[in-house]
Structure 1
Amino acid sequence: MSDRPNYITPAGYAALSEEYHKLFATERPALVETIAWAAGNGDRSENGDYIYGRKRLREIDRRLGFLSRRMKAARVVDPARQEDRSRVWFGASVTIADEDDRHRALTLVGDDETDAGAGRIGWNAPLARALRGAAVGDLRRVTLPAGDRDYEVIAISYPPPP
């Protein structure tokens, strides 16, 4: 685990928690029952249900451990409560334009809730780090695998306050 805080939105934390509870309360008990049934069928060395079940149980236990550590380290931050809405901070929805005037809409979210296809990038991604603290009209240079790119911040928005 890194020293950096694991910032996450309330919705992202709820998704991690939901996955944890689904695995722990539903999938794992059903799998343990299947493994117990398969173990009672005799020779375990050639029993596909038993072998696959034990493998899947290890995967579930590993994922439960990961989710537990991530939730324990999480710092839930509600972007709707952001006081400085004129700059890009955690939870901001940002519209940026590159040198070719192609616009792109992004939302800065926790690293556990990223989805590039939906425009949600992790708080610690290179582009997000470059945009932190930027205001509308600011130019930011980002070093990406394809080379350096300049982006201009066109718009910044946050969810409405509660």
Structure 2
Amino acid sequence: MKSSLITRGGHDKLVAELQHLWHEERPEITKKVNWAASLGDRSENADYQYNKQLLRKIDRRVRYLGKRLEELRIIDFSPEQEGKVYFGAWVDIENDDGEQKTLRIVGVDEIYDHHPQHISIDSPMARALLGKSVDDEAVVQTPSGAKHWYIVDIRYEKFENSAN
């Protein structure tokens, strides 16, 4: 079961996507479907079939987002998090070979945009980093064995109007 945590920024993106689909994209495609349907024989009408399929895809995403947004719990920065890795943290890490990475621990719903630095709270890397401080070692179990990473820096995005 995937976690229901999300950052405020991630939540805002999903809300914006839902609004765009519902108020802009869906009405536009509905017009196209109605226009194509008015042309007659729907079985031979590629415009009708394509746009009808697109409309079903939009409706599935709208239903999913509507349900998922109700389940999600927004996690805002809290001063108690300062200095340790928790949900929403940007973490700079380095291994013994000098390889460096900057990662952000986010909810599974925030991975959809394939941001190269976002990792899911449910990932082995995130689990190894959680609760650690700067200079701590995080051991990540991978298929090729344990990987050792050292925490170089931790920071959080702080939203001004996060009290809802």
Instruction: State TM-score, norm by structure 2.
Output: 0.88
Counterpart Cα distance in 2 of 1:21 and 1:117: 22
Q: 1:84 aligns with which of 81, 85, 95?
A: 81
Counterpart Cα distance in 2 of 1:71 and 1:145: 34
> Could you say what secondary structure the match of 2:21 adopts?
helix
Letter in 2 for 1:155: D
- Give me the identity figure in percent: 37
Letter in 2 for 1:38: A
Instruction: State TM-score, norm by structure 1.
Output: 0.89
Retained in 2: the 8 A contact 1:111–1:123? yes
Does the C-alpha gap of structure 1 residues 119 and 83 become closer, same or farther in structure 2, counting only changes over 3 Å?
same
Deviations 1:33-63 (A, max 9, x none): 1111111111100101110011101111111
Retained in 2: the 8 A contact 1:92–1:156? yes
Q: 1:104 aligns with which of 86, 92, 101?
A: 101
Counterpart Cα distance in 2 of 1:161 and 1:36: 44
Does the C-alpha gap of structure 1 residues 62 and 90 become closer, same or farther in structure 2, counting only changes over 3 Å?
same
> Could you say what secondary structure the match of 1:46 adopts?
coil
Q: Which residue number corresponds to residue 152 of structure 2?
A: 154
Letter in 1 for 2:31: E
Counterpart Cα distance in 1 of 2:142 and 2:114: 15
Higher mean alpha-carbon deviation, 144-153 vs 18-27, is at: 144-153
Gap runs ≥5 in structure 1? none
Q: Residue 125 in 1 paired to residue 120 in 2?
A: no
Over the residues paired in the alignment, what is the CA RMSD in angstroms?
1.8
Counterpart Cα distance in 2 of 1:141 and 1:78: 27
**Number of aligned residue pairs:** 159
Considering fraction of residues, name the structure with more helix.
1
Report how far residue 160 of structure 1 moved: 4.6
